[in-house]
Structure 1
Amino acid sequence: MSHHTRDHVAIVGAGESPYTRHPAAGTTTAGVLGDAVIRALRDAGLEPGDVDGLGFASFTLGPDHAIDLAWRLGLHLRWIMQDTNGGASAGGMLQHAVRAVEAGDASVIVLVAGDAMDNAAHERLVKAYNQATVDHLAGLPMTGPNALFAMLTQRQMAAWQLDRKDYGSLVTAQRAWAGLNPGAVYRAPMTIDEYLDAPLVAAPLGRFDCVPPVTGADAIVVTAEERATGRRARVLAVTAAYNGDDQVGDGIRTAVAACAPAAWERAGVAPTDTDVISVYDDYPAMVLSQLVDLGVTDPGSVQAVVAEQIATRRLPVNTSGGQLSAGQAGAGGGMHGMVEVVQQLRGRASGRQVEARIGVVTGYGMVLYRHGSCGNVAVLEAVA
């Protein structure tokens, strides 16, 4: 990565339209996306008139598109994009936005992702997620991706010699973080026994292993660093891998493994330098896979890392509570983790602030036939 990128592109604001399991009547996807944009701009000390670039990701904005959202927000743009890659959309959009700022195509870019996701919308999504789902999964008596990730979790348990308590240790640790996050949907403390006693959804996955759909949206503001005032998150590297294994791998190794080494090299830091991590957490098994793929740990040490570092907060992972406790706002899931790391690096994670200079965000998602096919890694640095 060029010296220019290292010094000159930063995330200067972040915002989240409040997550809710039960949105008020009249709540729309355009409404929550717009709310997140305004919150992020306010956080950055900017106005809509300063914005000349927009990227967005959503499953439920249709029939509207990116330009419709721009018009509804009153934005006049020189750069626009729409990302459809679900949990990998935040990193993917950031990768494009960094290049756009470098090239001078835009100077202030807002990236926003989210959905109005009630039960009906969620059901429509899981039945018609893509052609593979329509052709091969929708007709089966199964609960969307839960059964696929139950099988993947079984494979991981066998390969890495884990049991349900290991996953429970991760889930309860994230719930403890959520208790410090006013924006998390589920904040009540959870014991390991409550985790283990929860009804099974698809063995070995219980209720608390499955991400709860919510309505909400998340946004960040990306700009040339010389425009920034105050604390910001400098973008050191963004790398991505799409269709890394052609769906013939075991799913335990994710696309993050293919792009993480380049991210560390470009950023000039190592996994051991990381102070705060947001890992895409649609299921606990995927958190562990991505931590291994990042190089933070290895399969033989996962159990100890969860018990001795994550559960004790020596290694701050998913400090918002993650999607498992804060909720998954559709396509906003990946941006939620991005917003959290940005706010930690900017010293704005009220009530749960950690001391952090280097933050890492992973994106993961888009189930094809068996597991996620997209992954990316963003390495960010706190700059005063």
Structure 2
Amino acid sequence: MTGAPVRAAYDGVVACVPTTVPYRRFSINTAHWWIGRALHDLTRAAGLKPAEIDGLILSSFTLGADSAVGVTQHLGLSPRWLDHVPLGGASGVVGLRRAARAVQAGDARFVACVAADTNHVDSFRRTLSTFSRFAQDAVYPYGSGGANGSFALITKNYMNKYGATREDFGKICVAQRHNALAIPFAMMKKPLTLDEYMSARPIADPLHLFDCVMPCAGAEAFLVCRESDAKALGLRPVRLLATIERHNAFAEDTVQERGGWAMDIDELWQMAGVTPDKIDLVQTYDDYPVIVMMQFEDLGFCKKGEGPDFVRSHTFTADGSFPHNTSGGQLSTGQAGAAGGHLGITEAMRQLTDTPIGHRVQDADLAIVSGFGMINYDRGLSSGAAVLARAS
């Protein structure tokens, strides 16, 4: 622990109305359209008028010159609380965390947390070329294909130091593909065997095809409010027990082998009032399987360096010994830009309210969701995690 005091719990604050706009491989619609569609579906499912959404938190890579405030004008919203969280895969947890505090403080009553991105033929190249100053100056001009090279470095370093094998990473990918087959809009429609994973074409050594996400268009959203308001609307909420976020952690590591979770994990479990062995399902950010293995360690399910053995000793399907990324995650359902950081939250919410789109985890009462984002050469700069619980 860092020695910081454990903050007060999020008493009375809940998340509800998990909303997904079904993914498409390519879309001629703008990110604004996907955001508007998500807000439309969210308010309709919640029984609210758009004018009743007095808080908005937004994440997107493909808004062009716009940010959250520009979107309020495009969509005719007038929130009294607004935030734009450009943290990629960490945006979902960070957005949930900030929205919950806004509701708790009385700054807003109903906060819509939305992430959406479009994907047309040239979207991915444009995103890569302007992703960060580092990308503009030191990577993209030399022909880098984006995150693949960075995660190849991280993966190879982890394999060399801790003995992970491609078969270990493949086990994660195969299980997630099984989970995704029950999701109608998943990008990956066919079962994946370990042999197929191992023989897939190389991308950036040691990464092969099925280690990499499929970019697509889509949106994810949810509502944060007080439990009394959710129940008055007849909604099925989940309780927020604890959250953490951390940025630029362990900068001294030559190549990233741990994330910010490791710095604050004791605080998370203490705030939640539970221990890792009580968790029923885990939703990690999964742009590459090495980051999944890293999260198993840094979230406290095993010690640093024990990730490979942990993977070998568990199954990760929804009905397995360690239900994980039960929607298929980004590796098989797809990475809808910034919405990938919200996918685990909406999936956990559905599981905890017995409304999954795909396979159901039986008797699920507690979930942990983690986020990871903003890769910059040899590390991701942002991380977060949240513990969610079934409401009584």
Q: TM-score, normalised by structure 1?
A: 0.95
Structure 1 stretch displaced more, 267-276 or 253-262: 253-262
1:96 counterpart letter in structure 2: R
What is the CA–CA distance in structure 2 between the aligned matches of 1:246 and 1:307, rounded to whole Å? 30
What is the CA–CA distance in structure 1 between the aligned matches of 2:208 and 2:372, rounded to whole Å? 21
Distance 1:47 1:284, change over 3 A: same
Unaligned 5+ runs, structure 2: 1-5
Once the 2 structures are TM-superposed, how far is the Cα of residue 307 of structure 1 from its aligned partner? 3.5
CA contact (8 A) 1:126 1:144 kept: yes
Q: Which residue number corresponds to residue 257 of structure 1?
A: 262
| SS, match of residue 360 in structure 2 | coil
Once the 2 structures are TM-superposed, how far is the Cα of residue 300 of structure 1 from its aligned partner? 5.0
What is the CA–CA distance in structure 2 between the aligned matches of 1:344 and 1:39, rounded to whole Å? 19
Once the 2 structures are TM-superposed, how far is the Cα of residue 220 of structure 1 from its aligned partner? 0.7
Residues 270-289 of structure 1 aligned to structure 2 (within 5 Å): 270-289=275-294
Residues 78-117 of structure 1 aligned to structure 2 (within 5 Å): 78-117=80-119
Once the 2 structures are TM-superposed, how far is the Cα of residue 256 of structure 1 from its aligned partner? 1.6
CA contact (8 A) 2:26 2:121 kept: no
| SS, match of residue 137 in structure 1 | helix
Unaligned 5+ runs, structure 1: none
CA contact (8 A) 2:279 2:367 kept: yes
| SS, match of residue 193 in structure 1 | helix
What is the CA–CA distance in structure 1 between the aligned matches of 2:302 and 2:44, rounded to whole Å? 38
What is the CA–CA distance in structure 1 between the aligned matches of 2:47 and 2:186, rounded to whole Å? 25
| SS, match of residue 18 in structure 1 | strand
Q: 1:333 and 2:337 equivalent?
A: no
Once the 2 structures are TM-superposed, how far is the Cα of residue 247 of structure 1 from its aligned partner? 6.1
What is the CA–CA distance in structure 2 between the aligned matches of 1:302 and 1:244, rounded to whole Å? 20
What is the CA–CA distance in structure 2 between the aligned matches of 1:307 and 1:106, rounded to whole Å? 46
Residues 131-142 of structure 1 aligned to structure 2 (within 5 Å): 131-142=133-144
CA contact (8 A) 2:297 2:306 kept: no
Q: 1:372 and 2:380 equivalent?
A: yes
1:155-194 Cα deviation digits (max 9, x unpaired): 1111221111111110000000001112311131101111
| SS, match of residue 95 in structure 1 | helix
1:306 counterpart letter in structure 2: V
Among 125, 129, 136, which residue is 1:127 paired with?
129
CA contact (8 A) 1:256 1:364 kept: no
Q: Which residue number corresponds to residue 168 of structure 2?
A: 166
Q: Which residue number corresponds to residue 18 of structure 1?
A: 22
Residues 1-384 of structure 1 aligned to structure 2 (within 5 Å): 5-23=9-27, 25=28, 27-229=29-231, 230-246=235-251, 248-299=253-304, 301-311=306-316, 313-354=320-361, 355-384=363-392
CA-based RMSD:
1.7
What is the CA–CA distance in structure 1 between the aligned matches of 2:76 and 2:252, rounded to whole Å? 42
Structure 1 stretch displaced more, 303-312 or 103-112: 303-312
| SS, match of residue 369 in structure 1 | coil
CA contact (8 A) 1:7 1:225 kept: no
Once the 2 structures are TM-superposed, how far is the Cα of residue 338 of structure 1 from its aligned partner? 1.2
Instruction: Give me the identity figure in percent.
Output: 36
2:24 counterpart letter in structure 1: T
What is the CA–CA distance in structure 2 between the aligned matches of 1:143 and 1:257, rounded to whole Å? 29
1:113-160 Cα deviation digits (max 9, x unpaired): 121022311111112211111111112233211011111101111122
